[in-house]
């Protein structure tokens, strides 16, 4: 199926369903990415926004909060072992995880400002990898199998995100009735260090409604 230039609400539902259906049967992550490439328009962040929403929902279902945070230390090693990111790729994955945490905290990451520095058309893939890792981590934290966690996510009332156009990109709101606070999550070039389960970020950051700070606090981390 050829990629469409303008993603639709049905495409968002399809992307979420394919992700959760594949994970529920322990499907291959790379085959999943190949299948989902069909709904990714060239030079667009979609369906990355959908995957950030799924990851945020997973954080909701496992009860992650400032009082009881989900630790991000060794997230990739423990819950996405099939992917071995190096250098810049590792930073892309870390950004996607922080962006998901920002969505969970009620902010809307400024994806365009960030991915324009990447000069690649692969944000949606790293958002997918972040969603897979967050879903697996949430299932582990909740003490349930991944298939059950996926079924719980499928039953959420918020599983049909709304798509709107802005500056030639697609933004997906998880809750149309309560649009999130827009945040600048522009953290490239930026270095992240995992230290005793906390994240320290050093480098350039846009601090207007800082999405970096919101992302860390949403997961209970201290910047």
Tell me what the mean pLDDT of segment 72-100 comes to.
Answer: 95
Query: Which pLDDT band holds residue 200 (cuts at 50, 70, 90)?
Result: very low
pLDDT of residue 5: 64
pLDDT of residue 156: 78
Mean pLDDT of the chain: 77
First to last CA, the chain: 43
pLDDT of residue 180: 46
Residue 133 has pLDDT above 60, yes or no: yes
More confident residue, 66 or 131: 131
Residue 145 has pLDDT above 50, yes or no: yes
Residue 203 has pLDDT above 90, yes or no: no
pLDDT of residue 2: 52
Residue 93 has pLDDT above 50, yes or no: yes
List the single range of 46-60, 62-76, 168-182 with lowest mean pLDDT: 168-182
Q: Which pTM does this prediction carry? A: 0.73
The residues near 186 (Cβ < 8 Å, ≥ 6 apart) are: 110, 113, 114, 117, 204, 205, 206, 211
Q: Are strands 181-183 and 107-109 parallel, antiparallel or unpaired?
A: parallel
| 147-170 confidence digits (pLDDT tens) | 999 999 998 755 444 333 333 344
d(CA 52, CA 38): 18
pLDDT of residue 14: 93
Residue 195 has pLDDT above 60, yes or no: no
Q: What DSSP line would sit under 179-201, residue for residue?
A: PPEEE-----SEEEEEETTEEEE
pLDDT of residue 59: 95
């Amino acid at each position: 199926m050829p990629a469409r230039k303008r993603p639709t609400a049905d495409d968002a539902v399809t992307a979420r369903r394919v992700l959760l259906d594949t994970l529920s049967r322990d499907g291959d992550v790379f085959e999943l990415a190949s299948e989902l490439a069909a709904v990714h328009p060239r030079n667009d962040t979609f369906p990355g926004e959908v995957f950030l929403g799924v990851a945020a929902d997973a954080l909701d279902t496992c009860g992650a909060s400032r009082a009881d945070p989900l630790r991000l230390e060794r997230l990739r090693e423990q819950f996405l072992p099939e992917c071995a990111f190096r250098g810049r790729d590792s930073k892309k994955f870390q950004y996607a995880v922080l962006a998901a945490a920002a969505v969970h905290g009620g902010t809307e990451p400024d994806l365009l400002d960030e991915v324009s520095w990447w000069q690649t058309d692969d944000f949606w893939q790293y958002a997918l990898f972040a969603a897979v890792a967050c879903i697996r981590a949430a299932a582990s934290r909740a003490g349930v199998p991944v298939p059950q966690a996926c079924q719980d996510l499928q039953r959420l009332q918020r599983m049909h995100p709304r798509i709107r156009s802005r500056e030639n990109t697609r933004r997906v709101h998880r809750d149309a009735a309560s649009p999130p606070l827009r945040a600048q999550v522009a953290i490239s070039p930026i270095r992240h260090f995992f230290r005793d389960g906390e994240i320290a970020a050093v480098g350039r950051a846009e601090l207007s409604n800082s999405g970096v700070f919101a992302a860390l606090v949403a997961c209970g981390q201290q910047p």
